[in-house]
Structure formats: structure tokens, C-alpha cells
Amino acid sequence: MRWEGGRRSSNVEDRRGGGFGRPLAVGGGAASLVVALLVMLLGGDPSDVQIGSRGSPYSDPATGGSGNVTDPQQEKMKDFASVVLADTEDTWPALLEPQGVRYVQPHMVLFTGAVQSACGMQESAVGPFYCPGDQKVYLDLSFFDELESRFGAPGDFGRAYVIAHEVGHHVQNLLGISRKVQSLRNRTSEEQANQLSVLTELQADCFAGIWANHAQKERNLLEQGDVEEGLGAASAVGDDTLQKRARGHVVPESFTHGSAAQRMTWFKRGLEQGTLEACDTFNAR
């Protein structure tokens, strides 16, 4: 992926090493199983899985919380994340303008271990997430190491897919989709709510594909093998992949993000077609 010469976003808040950087304690047994399942689940409103009380906000989020020294090996990944975020900023305004929607640039918060958001206190185990309450993407950069070493999904473009997926949730928020889905989920059974969650996540995958389509068409960002890396990352975070790893068997009615095949299909659809109309998961057959 050709990213080194790309523009860096000014919307990155570095809270690594801050006061909330220490991971929250998690017990063994069932709790550990839940954490194992959540590690790779991307997106959604993490207020549904709050793990702590709301703390006081950071006095200066841009300074890295307490100012503790962070891992120098992560600096390249910080730079990478900033470039990908900037590229999404260059992509989405023109796509949303015909819909009568002004693109508001989200901030990306980098943190270590745990972080305070408008969706409550969250720890790294929930994976990267988007909080509609403050319109921010939250990312612990160590997730990228997990993606490669533990789940076998290496490569820059796989990491870019993760960020673009979370920005996809921001686009859903701006379009009013998130609000409508949440309203429906509140009035349905748990199984139906899970199905709505799956459709929401698959649309965010498709939106990530839209970004990749335009990044390649307009800025020639992709290199040979990048598409395969993106599809590999999408497969790695499929509910069936995660459940097989954690439980040894699959429970489809409990899916909240979609199977590996579904996630790859919708990411690829957005990548190939590059339009919002192609990503209507809610009305697709």
C-alpha cells in the first residue's frame, strides 16, 4: 500500500500512556471467553458492552494523557493510521454531498489499554470502535499486532480496512442510519437485534470498500496483493471464524458482525462498485 507520502490528518488525538491507559481487570472463566470473542469484533456502539463507570474526561487529550513515554515501535503505525484517516477525509465529502449530507471529519483517538469515551469507559479487548456520541474512532495500536500474529491477517491494507470500517460507522451516523437501526433494535427480540447489527456491520464493511475504490481510482493507493490483505482481514473478524477459535463451534443466531464469507463479500462489493447504492445491506436479497 502506497501510504508513506500521503497527507497526515490533523484529527488524531494521542492518548497513549494516559491516566486511563491501564487495562481494567477481567476475571477468568466466562468473562475471559467474552473478552476473547470481543477482541476482534469491530465497530458498533460499545455502550452496549460497557465495562466500567464513566470517569472524568482528559484535560488535554492531544498530549497523550499523563505524558508517559509510549512504545517507539508504534510511531510508524501512528503515522500510518493518520494517513489512512486523512485519505478517508479526502474521499467521503464528495460522496455524501449528492445525498445532501455535509461530511463532518471524525477524530481518531489512539489509546493504550483503556479509554474514556462518550460511550463509557472501554478497554482494548473490545477492539477498535466508533462512538456516535462524540463522533470519534478509538484505536489501540496494539490491535494491529494481534491482527497479524494471532489472527493471521498481516499487511498494511488489512490495517487500513480496520480504520476504514470504523469510519464507515461514522458515515452511517451522518446518514442517520445508526439512529434508525438502534431504534429498531430497541423494539425487537435479541435474535432480530443481532440480525440488524450484522446488517449494520456488513454495510460498514462495504463502506470501507467504497473508500478503497476511490483511494485507488483517484490516488493510486493500492499495490499488488493489497486486496487479498483486505479480504483476509475481513475474513479474520468474521463471527464464525472467531467463534470456532474461542468455542470450537459456531452459533449463527448469535452473530453480530457477520460471517467471514459475508464480510468479504460486502467489502469486495464496495471495492468493486464504489457507490452508496451498492451497500444497501438492509434491502439486499
- Condensed to tens digits (0 to 9), the pLDDT of residues 99-134 reads 999 999 999 999 999 999 999 999 998 889 999 999
Residues 12 and 15: their CA atoms lie apart, in Å, by 10
Report strand pairing: 107-110 vs 114-117.
unpaired
Are 208 and 281 contacting, i.e. CB atoms less than 8 angstroms apart? no
Residue 111 lies in a domain: yes
- Indicate whether 65 pLDDT > 60: no
Is 1 part of a structural domain of the chain? Answer: no
Domain tally, the chain: 1
Residue 285 falls inside a structural domain:
no
- 7 assigned to some structural domain: no
Contact (CB, 8 A) for 222 and 156: no
> 256 falls in which pLDDT band (50, 70, 90)?
confident
Domain-located, residue 284: no
Query: How far is the C-alpha of 55 from the C-alpha of 265, rounded, in Å?
Result: 40
In sequence order, the β-bridge partners of residue 116 are: 121
Parent domain of 207:
12-279
pTM for the whole structure = 0.82
Residue 246 counted as domain residue: yes
Residue 29: the pLDDT is: 35
The tally of CA atoms less than 13 A away on the side-chain side of residue 282 is 14
Q: Is 77 within the bounds of a domain? A: yes
Contact between 88 and 104 under an 8 Å Cβ cutoff? The reply is: no
Whether residue 241 is contained in a domain is answered as yes
If pLDDT is split at 50, 70 and 90, which confidence band does 226 have? confident
What the block records as the C-alpha cell of 48 is: 452496549
What is the dihedral sign for C-alpha 61, 48, 169, 239? positive
For residue 218, what is its C-alpha cell?
483517484
DSSP state of 131: E
Please state which of the ranges 42-46, 200-204, 276-280 shows the lowest mean pLDDT: 42-46
Residue listed under C-alpha cell 485519505? 87
